[in-house]
Structure 1
Amino acid sequence: MNWLKTIIAATTLQMLAAGTASAGENLDAIKAAGTFKIGTEGTYAPFTYHDTDGKLVGFDVEIGESVAKKLGVKAEFLEGKWDGLIAGLGATRYDAVINQVGITEERKQKFDFSDPYIASKAVLIVRGDNEEIKGFADLKGKKSAQSLSSNFGKIAENAGASLVGTEGFDQSIQLVLNGRADSTINDSLSFLDFKKHKPDANVKIAAEEANADYSGIIIRKGDPELLAAINAALADIKADGTYKAIAEKYFGADVSK
């Protein structure tokens, strides 16, 4: 049995050594190829979508391009459906996924995340002339327009609101605007995007949750050199104003915190 233990131990060491080598080699391979392959949806505005000319654009797209530039290469985007994006990363179809992937403990068990590059909070949205609702506690007995199965709907319900079912953010906002609902609880990034396109819309944020959710660039485990390079690139684009310019373009505000 000792010979079997010896073989197993040797094999384990070889696998560990190979993993370490491939980690460094992956960053070298990216630089040698001159491309940083990024998985993304291409159907999730304003983060990753196609403009009227069919060009892939969006906040996440420009973040990916900026990170690639700091790595000294060009970004190459490979589009796919959300359900298959992370699986595609595991299957080595691309080097990273940049698609508003939330940083969760469950995902961190199988993949590595960069430092957060964007934050979002649950916000309470009301008409601009509503002075009655100033916080989540004021929702008791009020109507809140929500997707019934969403976490935002649960927050509204727990605050004592009765829910008016909708299919998503746009419909929820319209119900608030036309007075059929007193409020909606939704994502701060969606609200900023809405106000960017319709700055005169008569809605405002009455309150926001204290805790934010963060998204990061997700890569395979075992690539510490690549992870460090991506984090350095993110720090650089924040320091040199690139990040701020991209955030202002798509949201009209800094969305990193």
Structure 2
Amino acid sequence: MIQNLSRLIGVGLLSLPLHVYDVMAADDIFDLSPEQSGRIRVETDTAAIAALPKDFKFANSGKFTVAVSTGGPPLATYATDAKTVVGADPDYALAIADSIGLELELVPVAWADWPLGLVSGKYDAVISNVGVTELRKKKFDFSTYRQGLHGFFVKADSAIQDIREPKDAAGLRITVGASTNQERILLKWSEENIAAGLKPIELQYHDDDAARIIALQSGRVDVIVQPHAQLVYIAARDRNIRRAGTLSAGWPERSDVAITTRKGSGLADPLTLATNDLIKSGAYAKILERWHLSEEALPESETNPPGLPEN
């Protein structure tokens, strides 16, 4: 019953009253079973199939072979059988495979290994939260499918409500990882606040999720900032933090994540077309809603859009 209720609630789940969280656990909110009975399937997309390059040789005949890094839910993780890969990225990969009329073959890889495997033709694409950057565009093509967002999360009973712009974070103690994109952006926010006569942001550095969560719960910091999808799952699992806002990974511009393919392979435009048709049909929104990531939806997919600068 709770599982069905959570599907109806959708992304509004993270702002439910606290007593509702008390009867829910992460497994009630996210389906991590190997069966994946709620996975979204789609019809073939004749336009996307027609756009595929005639001379492209897929890594495995009749299959769309996709690398994915199982970094954790809700993006990609192992199911309860410890072998089936599930999550938002696998669901999206399946929808693309359906669209181009091929069987999906997922290849779990370590994050550091995907570039070499893709260049060597070991797989056709990478669908694993890869952000578009100008440096990566020199070697790969991109078809965007989700916004790259960081999340501002606070204790469930925090008085902090909305963090949308630099002034909202003035004077707050925020935990981030050192040398991260989040740190880079928040340092700029703090500079803007000081220039406007507001209090600076106090950044505190912790090496991992556990340390950051402990710092938040103990009251040593007011806010935790890290990739949004990770925090969506932690909020559902721990039931003691909530979202106060989101931040584009490319602030002040939007920064997207994308299907990554070999440079010049000819796959990018057809996969962008397939994504836009999934957006138009509503299947795209259903996939994101299933994993409570609707905030990360794109209005449309683009091939090789501007990415994060090299410096």
TM-score for both structures, normalised by structure 2: 0.65
Unpaired stretches in structure 2, ≥5 consecutive residues: 1-51, 191-199, 299-311
The answer to whether the 8 A contact 2:73-2:230 is kept is no
The structural deviation recorded for 1:30 is 3.8
CA–CA separation in structure 2 for the residues paired with 1:91 and 1:31: 10
Q: 1:131 to 1:25 in 2, by over 3 A?
A: closer
Deviations 1:80-126 (CA, angstroms, capped at 9, x unpaired): 21111011111111111111111111111111111x10112334333
Q: Does 1:72 align with 2:113?
A: no
Q: Does 1:211 align with 2:253?
A: yes
* Bigger mean CA offset, 159-168 vs 93-102: 159-168
| Count of residues paired in the alignment | 231
The answer to whether the 8 A contact 1:31-1:72 is kept is no
Give the match for residue 38 of structure 1: 66
Alignment of 1:9-24 (within 5 A): 23-24=53-54
Q: 1:133 to 1:176 in 2, by over 3 A?
A: farther
The structural deviation recorded for 1:240 is 2.0
Q: 1:131 to 1:108 in 2, by over 3 A?
A: closer
The answer to whether the 8 A contact 1:47-1:60 is kept is yes
* Bigger mean CA offset, 177-186 vs 53-62: 177-186
Picking from 197, 202, 222, the partner of 1:182 is 222
Deviations 1:220-250 (CA, angstroms, capped at 9, x unpaired): 12222x3232122212222222221211111
The answer to whether the 8 A contact 1:119-1:212 is kept is yes
Match of 2:243, SS?
strand
The answer to whether the 8 A contact 2:149-2:246 is kept is no
CA–CA separation in structure 2 for the residues paired with 1:89 and 1:124: 33
Give the match for residue 14 of structure 1: none
Picking from 247, 250, 255, the partner of 2:291 is 250
Picking from 51, 58, 68, the partner of 2:79 is 51
Give the match for residue 90 of structure 1: 119
CA–CA separation in structure 1 for the residues paired with 2:230 and 2:98: 28
Picking from 191, 204, 209, the partner of 1:164 is 204
The answer to whether the 8 A contact 2:151-2:243 is kept is no
Match of 1:105, SS?
coil
Match of 1:216, SS?
strand
Q: 1:147 to 1:118 in 2, by over 3 A?
A: same
Unpaired stretches in structure 1, ≥5 consecutive residues: 1-21
Picking from 160, 167, 182, the partner of 1:152 is 182
What amino acid is the match of 2:261?
I
Give the match for residue 136 of structure 1: 166
Q: 1:133 to 1:177 in 2, by over 3 A?
A: farther
Picking from 80, 87, 101, the partner of 2:130 is 101
Give the match for residue 238 of structure 1: 279
The answer to whether the 8 A contact 1:117-1:215 is kept is yes
What amino acid is the match of 2:89?
D
The answer to whether the 8 A contact 1:169-1:190 is kept is no
Picking from 129, 135, 140, the partner of 1:111 is 140
The structural deviation recorded for 1:73 is 0.7
Match of 1:217, SS?
strand
Higher fraction of helix: 1
Bigger radius of gyration, 1 or 2?
1
Report percent identity of matched pairs. 23
What amino acid is the match of 1:222?
G
The structural deviation recorded for 1:132 is 8.7
TM-score for both structures, normalised by structure 1: 0.77
What amino acid is the match of 1:212?
R
Match of 1:144, SS?
strand
Q: 1:222 to 1:140 in 2, by over 3 A?
A: closer
